[in-house]
Amino acid sequence: MTPAPDLPVSETTPLITKYTDDSIYDRFSFRRKQTIVTIVSCCGLLTFFTSSSFTPTIPQIAQDLNTTGSVVNFSVGLFVFMAAFGSLFWSRYSGYYGRQPIYVASLPVYFLGSIGVALCRNVPELMIFRALQAFGSCAFQSVGAGTIADIFRLEERGRAMGVFYCLALVGPAVAPFVGGLVAERSSWRAMQGCLGIVGLIALLLVILLLPETMHPGTRGIDRAQTELVNGEKKARRFVFLNPFSALALMRSPVLFVTTMAAAATFITDFVVLLPLAYTIGERYGIVNKALVGALFLPSGLGNMIGAPISGWLSDYSVTKWRALRGGKWIPEDRLRATWHGALFFVPLSTLGMGLAIRFIDGTPGIVINMILILIHGVGMCLVMAPCSTYNVDVMHDRSAEVVAANYAVRNVIVSSTILGILPAIEHFGVAWTNGVASIFAWIGFALIMITIRYGPQMRAWSSVAHTDGSY
């Protein structure tokens, strides 16, 4: 293995200026684009499915491994943290080798991690293989968003990202129920083994049906090989790249602020969903693992409803405000689509759940909580999807890297809070814990509003080069 040649390896390319008529986006037919989005989204489902199917089985895993729920819960935080690092790693190499080779390399890692989790005999082995599983599963989150940016124009990108998130979020809709049902009927280990097999099937689909989507000549390896050939040197097949270089993009005020806003919102998702077996489950006497898994269904359903709506709203917002300005594009207009989710849906549903669990008994309490979880799921998409698409808009030249940096910073923040969720509920109660999470969500709303109002000035202050509106 050889050090990387002294060549630029980001996704920045002269094609952005060369194809000013957007002709580069016509390389694939509409049907082929649909196939690409479907495959990438279904593979992206693995991350969500792997994470969501694990949560309702925590009590059974703790009993099987002779430990406590809090200890097993640490593996959830480890999964989130490792997924953050993995997204940086895979996105960095996707800019050099392309999208398709990264998918082919990451899925076998996911397979090995899933089989390892299924066969683990103690807590250390569980932690090691959960980390490997997370590392292999996360490529489709960052690189998948880069693939969408490769093939769709600005005015189409929001809806395409909405479809990407909608299909991927089938995982949170059904995974907890499926995971709980399999654990109830067989074992939590069977679920992990099945996920590994699905990973192999996904690998086969990628090899057979997924083309390389990066614009011709823009991969780092293309430029490196050209230079080496001209210099009469042998082409190097592997290079060392710094996976943390994408974090330098966080020097951009708009990227940093929107990432903090997304992290503040994302915290509520874990506060609401992670302890369901210990909050709604214990509060209303639900002990059957399949039924505990079913408690997560409204959240996934809300995600599936909210994802396409958020995509349409963000594209509509861009088109509407662009027309009002006589054709001038300001990227922050996309963030206007987050308004209802960030201000109302997410914080109020989080607060309402805490109060409902604390004060409302019996069937009415369960029904109200299910409705609030559904609303929360819709609100999460109304906030997260436009923020992610906005990051791609302002850093189109390095789309996979910016999504990875956003994902990594957000997940590191969230993983550090996960460890405190169950202790906070035990010491302060669910109402107070959810109330604090709601305050975080409102802080996220305030950060988004600041970006909408001062985004152009913030981009002008930055030393990071942003995508302008000319492409």
Mean pLDDT on 206-232: 74
Structural domain count of the chain: 1
- pLDDT given at position 175: 81
Q: Report which of residues 29 and 218 the model is more confident about.
A: 29
287 phi and psi angles, rounded to 5 deg: -115, -20
In contact, 33 and 151? CB cutoff 8 Å: yes
In contact, 471 and 155? CB cutoff 8 Å: no
Mean pLDDT on 123-143: 90
In contact, 172 and 400? CB cutoff 8 Å: no
**Strand pairing report for 2-3 and 239-240:** parallel
In a domain, 333, yes or no: yes
Please write the tens of the pLDDT for every residue from 424-443.
Answer: 998 999 999 999 999 999 99
Mean pLDDT on 406-428: 85
> Does the pLDDT value for residue 196 go beyond 50?
yes
- pLDDT given at position 233: 52
In a domain, 338, yes or no: yes
pLDDT band, very low/low/confident/very high, at 19 (cuts 50, 70, 90): very low
Mean pLDDT on 243-248: 87
Please write the tens of the pLDDT for every residue from 249-278.
Answer: 999 999 999 999 999 999 999 899 878 878
In a domain, 5, yes or no: no
Among 9-23, 185-199, 284-298, the range scoring the smallest mean pLDDT is 9-23
Write out the chain in H/E/C secondary structure: CEECCCCCCCCCCCHHHHCCCCHHHHCCCHHHHHHHHHHHHHHHHHHHHHHHHHHHHHHHHHHHCCCCHHHHHHHHHHHHHHHHHHHHHHHHHHHHHCHHHHHHHHHHHHHHHHHHHHHCCCHHHHHHHHHHHHHHHCHHHHHHHHHHHHHCCHHHHHHHHHHHHHHHCHHHHHHHHHHHHHHHHCCHHHHHHHHHHHHHHHHHHHHHHCCCCCCCCCCHHHHHHHHHHHCCCCCCCCEECCHHHHHHHHHCHHHHHHHHHHHHHHHHHHHHHCCCCCCHHHHCCCCCHHHHHHCCHHHHHHHHHHHHHHHHHHHHHHHHHHHHCCCCCCHHHHHHHHHHHHHHHHHHHHHHHHHHHHHCCHHHHHHHHHHHHHHHHHHHHHHHHHHHHHHHHHCHHHHHHHHHHHHHHHHHHHHHHHCCHHHHHHHHCHHHHHHHHHHHHHHHHHHHHHHHHHHHHHHHHCCCCCCCCCC
Give strand pairing partners of 3: 240
Mean pLDDT on 75-94: 87
In a domain, 258, yes or no: yes
In contact, 302 and 287? CB cutoff 8 Å: no
Please write the tens of the pLDDT for every residue from 351-404.
Answer: 999 999 999 999 999 999 999 999 999 999 999 889 988 998 898 777 778 888
pLDDT band, very low/low/confident/very high, at 14 (cuts 50, 70, 90): very low
- pLDDT given at position 132: 94
Token couple for 455: 């985004």
Range of the domain at 391: 11-461
- pLDDT given at position 234: 52
pLDDT band, very low/low/confident/very high, at 106 (cuts 50, 70, 90): very high
Percent of the chain with pLDDT over 70: 90
In a domain, 162, yes or no: yes
* Nearest alpha carbon to residue 437 among 202, 237, 271, 239: 271
- Which span out of 145-159, 244-258, 403-417, 437-451 was modeled with the highest average pLDDT? 437-451
In a domain, 4, yes or no: no
> Which amino acid belongs to residue 453?
R
In contact, 46 and 79? CB cutoff 8 Å: no
* Cβ neighbours for 159, distance < 8 A, ≥ 6 positions apart: 308, 311, 312, 315
Mean pLDDT on 63-67: 90
- Average model confidence (pLDDT) for the chain? 84
- pLDDT given at position 11: 40
Mean pLDDT on 340-357: 97
Percent of the chain with pLDDT over 90: 38
Q: What is the CATH number of the domain that holds 169?
A: 1.20.1250.20
In contact, 120 and 129? CB cutoff 8 Å: yes
Answer whether 0.85 is exceeded by the pTM.
no
Q: Report which of residues 185 and 268 the model is more confident about.
A: 268
Token couple for 242: 């710094």
- pLDDT given at position 276: 86
- pLDDT given at position 458: 92
In a domain, 141, yes or no: yes
> Does the pLDDT value for residue 126 go beyond 80?
yes
Q: Report which of residues 19 and 28 the model is more confident about.
A: 28
Mean pLDDT on 207-222: 84
> Does the pLDDT value for residue 469 go beyond 80?
no
In a domain, 2, yes or no: no
